[in-house]
Amino acid sequence: MDLLDDEPFVPLSVREGRREPFELTRGIPDYLLSSIGSWFGEWFRGPFMELSRDKLLQVCRCLRINAVGDSEQLLDRLGKMSVADDGFTLDLVDLLLYLGHNAADLDGYLREVNHEYRVADDWRHLTRRVDSTAQEAYRRAVTPADHASALLSQAWEKAYSRHEDPAGAWDDACAAVEALLKPVVSPKDEKATLGKMKKALRGTPHKWGCALSDLDGRTGIQRFIAALDVITYRPDRHPTSEVAGPVNIEESRMVVLQAVAVVNWLRDEALYPVVGDV
């Protein structure tokens, strides 16, 4: 059995309703701390338990920690910082993944406790756990090695990693959709924007066919345009914008998830030009 592909274990008492269901694990509770501590130890110590000062100093540099004391003292200090601050522990986990530490074991630990974070598909950083259907849709959308996939991957990381960038995630999601929409809607206009392309679709819908069916009084092309309308440009992207403040991460994530859906539609040729019209 491969734990990496399974749902978290649910005790019999929970399944039978005699015990409250486990909540999503957040931070580093005591029942996870020992396993994470052992995982840290595998990185800092070699096969003969010799302590690597080079690795300790690298961590200190990356996390901006003053490297005071000998190696044992420094490791002890990092351990105490981890016990005292869950945020620091997660940053340290994220860093060791980036440096190439054992991602498979860590992902198993996080899945077993149904943690709010999981190891990202690139095995190099933590990412927030999302609905499995949304996760699979994202994986499918970024499978082809093209510019749209690169942009969408960037958007996903900025939306769900520990280093959130709501504005960047929003912008990259829009750019990913643009990259696939241009060859279909405006193949001769390299500078075509989402706004211009949506205007073209609305103005001359007969020029395109759509795999979406007509529903609730709307044609397939109208439903496609409505989906695109969710992926507007970030409202605060201009210095003169009158919006109240910068975009929040929740709204940015909604744009990213919508972009995933539209990218998959475009890859499946859900929108296509009518021969001789475009």
Residue 139: its pLDDT value, please? 93
Which tens digit of pLDDT belongs to each residue from 9-30?
Answer: 888 998 889 999 888 899 999 9
Buried b (16+ CB within 10 A) or exposed e, 12-35: eeeeeeeeeeeeebeebeeebeeb
- pLDDT above 70: residue 277: no
Residue 244: pLDDT band with limits 50, 70, 90? low
Residues 6+ apart with CB under 8 A from 276: none
Condensed to tens digits (0 to 9), the pLDDT of residues 160-177 reads 998 899 999 999 999 999
Between CA 203 and CA 192 the distance in angstroms is: 15
Mean per-residue pLDDT, 197-211: 93
**Over residues 123-143, mean pLDDT:** 92
